[in-house]
Amino acid sequence: MTSLRGSQVKHRRRVLTGVYELGKEDDSLVETQLAPSANQQHNNRILLEGDNFPERLFGCSTHHLFPHSYGINLATDVFPEMNPTINKLHTNDDLMKSDATENDLLIYFMHSCPDLDPRNFPGKTIVVTGESKLGIPCAPNQEQWGKHCDKDMPVGPRIFWVGPHHNAQNIVQTHWGILLLNARARPIEGTIAHPEFQYLFDHALKPKNTGEFFLIYAASHCVPFREDAFDLLATKIGKEVHYNGNCRGSELMDDQKSISPYQLTHELGAYNNKELFQHYRFALVMENSFPDSATVTEKIFNAYLGGAIPIYFGSLEVMGIFNPKSFIWFDPTNPQLAIDLITELENDSNLYNEYLNAPILKDGERTIERYFSLRDEIGRGYLKRRIRSMVGIESTMYHYTLLNEERIQIQQYKLR
């Protein structure tokens, strides 16, 4: 592929001769040499020229589990120049009745409006998602959440993604937990960032638990491998464990389990489990699925914000976000390693404090820029600018140059 530097910086409208795709075998970012068809040339020209700022902002973001709107907050952070009045669409009928044009922008939050197919929107669409699959929801009811129709929604010159997928031509990577944090941790007047961000970013402000109890498990979806992990922790460590929510592991092992004396109100729910976790030395915060899913949810963030040491299993992306000496990886296929480490931490207060006092982020400011910078005051707005570049509002060379640098880094890593 022709270098993204040099002549292409001077001639940014030049049609690219290759595209980035997600690797089919290892999900890494790979470069594929393609001779562009006439249609691809047309699409690339639309993507790269991007001189006209969107005239109006349309939104589909009415998530009922939390009062903030993830997609709408993202829109106002990334596109502050646009009119704050957002035209709301909830169904295909709404879209048919609207006067949306190819010059408009739709922010589509995955689970908010399953009756609206964003592929029908005439302008550009940014799909904001916490799901690892590039597809659209099948149904609006609770039982269907996380499931998808057979048809995938492709990326393209009009459809872009912000979610837990590797960066690619029409994708900027971030994670569900970060989108949630960005929605609930709005800037406070007179400060550069909400305290929740400061607690994660500033080592001196890292929350510490009270040490009152050993372990808490708070979950409403009773995933088998997570239930089994709670059972093991209840029987192998030799200390009472607490639960809060619908899940409590096997009923045959209840003698080591108790419901937490600290209860959350329905209004707070899982998104503020940090209020519960502050009373515990450890928090079991495993994801709903195995590491083939790329998403990092709010679970591990809430453990850190509550001051508990997270016991985690899920997306391998956490290894690039969080300091591995600040949490415990619990592998259901080999649980003894985690059991032994937790036992050691419980018996050695100095070692426990090393984990408790360790920095949360893996690489400080670089981690903030790479994963959290959806606003100007956070990590210099790196992700914000990258999204704007992806959709063509700012120079698309910014996003493409970063893709090229990431590809080189991946190749160098594989050669080690």
pLDDT at 153: 62
Domain 207-357 CATH (choose: 3.90.1010.10, 1.10.8.50, 3.40.50.720, 3.40.50.11660)? 3.40.50.11660
Q: Are strands 29-33 and 309-312 parallel, antiparallel or unpaired?
A: unpaired
Per-residue pLDDT of 226-277, as tens digits, reads 999 999 999 999 899 999 988 999 877 778 899 999 877 555 555 678 889 9
Cα dihedral 19, 21, 25, 28 in deg (nearest 10): 100
Among 29-43, 171-185, 304-318, 339-353, whose mean pLDDT is lowest?
Answer: 29-43
Token readout for 154 is: 């492709």
CATH 3.40.50.11660 in the chain, residue ranges: 207-357
In degrees, rounded to 5, the angle at the alpha carbon of residue 213 between the alpha carbons of residues 207 and 215 is 85
Helix, strand, coil abundance in the chain, percent, nearest 5: 35, 15, 45
- Listed ranges 115-119, 144-148, 181-185, 273-277; the one with the highest mean pLDDT: 273-277
Token readout for 114 is: 């399953």
Report d(CA 77, CA 80) in Å as an integer: 6
Question: Is 50 exceeded by the pLDDT of residue 50?
Answer: no
pTM of the full predicted structure?
A: 0.80
| More confident: 69 or 226 | 226
